[in-house]
Structure 1
Amino acid sequence: MGTIGKILSEKVVYQNMFFTVLQREIQTSLGEGRTYLLWDRRDKSFSVVVALTSDQKVIFLSQPKYAQFRHYLTLPIGTLFEDEGHLEAAKRTFLREAGYESDEWLTLRESGIIDFPVKLLEMNIISFYIIMLEKFLKLKNALY
């Protein structure tokens, strides 16, 4: 299996307290040059909640993606805050995005994610948690 490409240059084009946007010049395995804008996910880990109904259907959220002027179906996913564990982030995210909380959580999978294959040492962790809908408690004052 050959290389899929290489990074020629990279620079920060936008940064605030929540995220950084990089402009990355790459060369594909075919020698073509391409420019990408991407979120810098280095040093960030995520938690994803897979919520199931009693008949084993997955709960998705309809969330606006303003750059595309559309709503997309997504799983609740959140970045870990400083000094926060994966399970804490999953619970916080699920409450904030879906308005539900649960006392019973199971780790479905925890693995590394790599934003670009040639940067193997910059791996982040993503954790998946699964909960059953009949264990949810809907909160009246939750944010959506």
Structure 2
Amino acid sequence: MDLVEKKLQSALVYEGGFLQVHKDKVLLPDGSESSREYILHPGAVAILALTADRQLVLERQYRYPAGRVFVEIPAGKIDPDEAPALTARRELLEETGYRAGRWLHLGTAYPCIGYSNEQISYYLAEDLELGERELDEGEFLEVFTLPLQQVMQMALSGEICDSKSIVGLHWLAAHLDGRLPGAAV
């Protein structure tokens, strides 16, 4: 069965600093027409920064759309023409002050396929060295570390509840169990 929808028309509804909202007219597999509203996103990275004593680097940050403070793994938007692995290195340093001597790509996920093309590439960062943070203007977050097992429990209890962090923790657990090798970057 052919499930592909074909774009007939596309309209840019809104263009912001890094997001674009589109409304398209599409041809459905059965020949009827419908509309699709979606957000184009440049992509992002998420970093699971693990210390030698199995502490995970976390952030506490206010997220305006949800109206609350979240505990999450470091992450950031990919800049134009920037490779995801370079974004991961840049974001880890900017947000946390850590540099990593070893990097592995764990996988890529689509967090909101119903309304966006956003992709998040997940990286494990190890052999950490702490330096100075380089936060962007207007960026406010608290950085801290917790034992990995405690972080896993926080995800199970709902204290860590953003999908980016939950997916990253799932892949980190699989990597540490030897079920997900990762690729050196």
Q: What TM-score, normalized to structure 1?
A: 0.61
Aligned counterpart in structure 2 of residue 129 of structure 1, from 81, 106, 123: 123
Aligned counterpart in structure 2 of residue 62 of structure 1, from 39, 60, 63: 60
Percent identical = 21
C-alpha separation between the residues in 1 aligned to 2:17 and 2:90? 19
**CA shift digits 1:62-102 (9 cap, x unpaired):** 111123321111211122212211111001111222x3131
Alignment match, 2:74 = 76
Alignment match, 1:90 = 88
1:136 is paired with a residue whose SS is strand
8 Å contact from structure 1 (residues 102, 137) kept in 2: yes
C-alpha separation between the residues in 1 aligned to 2:22 and 2:104? 32
The structure with more strand, counted as a fraction of residues: 1
C-alpha separation between the residues in 2 aligned to 1:89 and 1:57? 22
Aligned-residue Cα RMSD (Å) equals 3.9
**Residue type at the aligned position of 2:15:** Q
8 Å contact from structure 2 (residues 40, 118) kept in 1: no
Q: Compared with structure 1, are the counterparts of its residues 85 and 137 closer, same or farther at alpha carbon in structure 2 (3 Å cutoff)?
A: same
Aligned counterpart in structure 1 of residue 102 of structure 2, from 101, 105, 116: 105
8 Å contact from structure 1 (residues 63, 73) kept in 2: yes
Cα distance, 1:116 vs structure 2: 2.8
1:71 is paired with a residue whose SS is strand
2:57 is paired with a residue whose SS is coil
C-alpha separation between the residues in 2 aligned to 1:92 and 1:126? 15
8 Å contact from structure 2 (residues 106, 123) kept in 1: yes
The structure with more helix, counted as a fraction of residues: 2
Unpaired stretches in structure 1, ≥5 consecutive residues: 4-9, 25-35
**Residue type at the aligned position of 1:46:** A
How many pairs were matched up? 126
C-alpha separation between the residues in 2 aligned to 1:86 and 1:73? 23
Alignment match, 2:43 = 45
